[in-house]
Structure 1
């Protein structure tokens, strides 16, 4: 800014802004972020007040590791305009809190038509959250459920059910979904957008079931075993 204040404030230079793992944001820093209007903002592990986050809801928002006391600001009509939301390892987020975020007051019947990526890794959520996503996020393309310990074979069956848009969603289940068994692979075959299936941490899933998964889909898409129980789509 000492070289050229006008140039340094050019919004084209600030489309992606990463202030993750910083000390608490000062009012001056907050004003600077708001002035530059980034389309992608990473606030992961950065202490924030609720009122600060309320000013920073933008197109792509990453708030990994923050607490519900701050994230409750997201129970707002502004949320439907977010395209990417990263809530991994956020403290105090369970089904009830996710519902408040997905269905803000006054928007009970309005779907989040712009949300394409949602990361919920490490959260204590159940199938009730998955049903909410199916009803209220029709454009969802990527869903991260890694380390969600309550995800089971029936959860995968729900995501892959006929007539649901999540059937066309690229779902990440690894690592940490330890309740999955060989039975989930018959449902995973229905997920048409699956690009990688990393099951190395799923002790109840066998190598033989992974080989059968690749063989059964060979007439539809080319999958390859990159490592033990790590399946990659090649086309």
Structure 2
């Protein structure tokens, strides 16, 4: 019995140790290490507080190619002037034919003005600076010959002034043929006096050389109707024509007509925008006005002629015309189904009655005889066109012509004009 009694307490002790191991707070005692074992272990590395510097990449030196020595340079008689002569043909090569440069690039190499020798240098006005910066000034230092040199190196009998008088009787097509004769005639005929107007209507692709020739001639009138010009070419061309007074842009899209918004295109007297399909009231207002905040000022203060035949405009467009074109003389609103007597009433109630001399309402179906009665207020009216107007009678036109203070006649059904005016010349 004694051995059994001695074994019972040992089992109880082992069971008690197992229960302790299952408890959470119980920790197994670690084995004590000797000094020899602790020395053999590797010590942990100490982290330095200094950050690692970023290595900068050093650029590799560029390899310089050695210049090849030619046989001419080895020769003692070779001089730098001969080397420049060799490079001359390379510099004289014409540039690639591309679209024209931006308006900031000058087309013609004009010499910069030198300061005066005596006194302080005078600064030109802002307008002249802009023109020289955009290449508007055509060089006047061209020396023209007085005689034509013949093949036997003798001079022709006729002088330049006599030839100029002969050239004035020629049409533009004949002048172009004469320009192909010789270089002297080319310089003489390039004078702007022979080119008051240039017609490029229905012209094919317009190249930079064509625009350059237009700038050299400085016409007062240019016709670009139905041609294949681009917006970039228009933006380049128009600021370089300071003497331009009349421009015709019939049938062109509104994108190209927007080139008239340039700051240097403000001296126009006549604008032809007939049959522009995408021209509306807002587009015309932006074209005729300069917006500065809430105020809109007229862009073309001296505009005298405006042709809007066939444009899809409403009857409210007359308010913009009255506001931005106070000196208008010729107004063309023909072939527009939105024009009516209210438009004529607005014209007669404005200051346009003192300046208008020519009004065209042909092809407007809603204009009636009341318009003729109201137009008697116009002082200088000499041209009235009511052809193809169904609501306007011939009797009303006859009464207007007889009662008006100026002498007028009626031709071609409902066309009223002075007797001394050629209808076929004035209709255009």
Q: Answer whether TM exceeds 0.5 for this pair.
A: yes
Deviation at 1:94, TM superposition (A): 1.3
Using the alignment, how far apart are the partners of 1:80 and 1:108 within structure 2?
A: 15
Deviating beyond 4 angstroms after TM superposition, the runs of 4 or more aligned structure 1 residues are: none
Task: Say whether residues 1:190 and 2:371 are aligned partners.
Answer: no
Structure 1: where are the runs of 5+ without partners? none
Specify which structure has the higher proportion of strand: 1
- Total equivalences in the alignment: 232
How much has 1:186 moved relative to structure 2? Answer: 1.2
Q: Tell me if the contact between 2:309 and 2:336 (Cα under 8 Å) persists in the aligned partners.
A: yes
Please, which of 410, 415, 420 is the counterpart of residue 230 of structure 1? Answer: 415
Alpha carbons of 1:112 and 1:150: their partners in 2 closer, same or farther (altered >3 Å)?
Answer: same
Deviation at 1:166, TM superposition (A): 4.6
Q: Normalization by structure 2: what TM-score?
A: 0.51
Which stretch of the first structure deviates more once superposed, 47-56 or 104-113? 104-113
Equivalent residue in structure 1 for 2:330, among 123, 128, 142: 142
Matches within 5 A, 1:21-40: 21-40=202-221
Q: Take 1:112 and 1:140, find their aligned partners in 2: how far apart are those partners?
A: 10
* Distance in structure 2 (CA, Å) of the matches to 1:105 and 1:32: 34
Offset of residue 227 of structure 1:
4.2
- Tell me the distance in 1 between the aligned counterparts of 2:354 and 2:343: 12
Q: 1:114 to 1:56 in 2, by over 3 A?
A: farther
Unpaired segments ≥5 residues, structure 2 = 1-178, 239-243, 421-428
Structure 1 residues 207-222: aligned runs within 5 Å: 207-217=394-404, 220-222=405-407
Under a length normalisation based on structure 1, what TM-score does the superposition of the two structures give? 0.88
**Structure with the larger RCO, 1 or 2 (CA within 8 Å, 6+ apart):** 1
Pick one of 97, 102, 116 that aligns with 2:283: 97
Matches within 5 A, 1:131-170: 131-161=319-349, 163-170=350-357
By how many angstroms is 1:169 displaced? Answer: 0.7
The alpha-carbon distance between structure 1 residues 79 and 126, as it changes in their structure 2 partners (threshold 3 A), is farther
Residue 69 of structure 1 aligns to a residue in which SS? helix
Structure exhibiting the larger radius of gyration computed from Cα positions: 2
CA deviation vs aligned residue, 1:157-196 (integer Å, no higher than 9, x gap): 11111x5135531243242111101111111222223223
Is residue 253–residue 276 contact of structure 2 (8 Å, CA) maintained in 1? Answer: yes
Paired with 2:261 and 2:379, the residues of 1 have a C-alpha distance of 32
What value does the CA root-mean-square deviation take over the aligned residues? 2.1
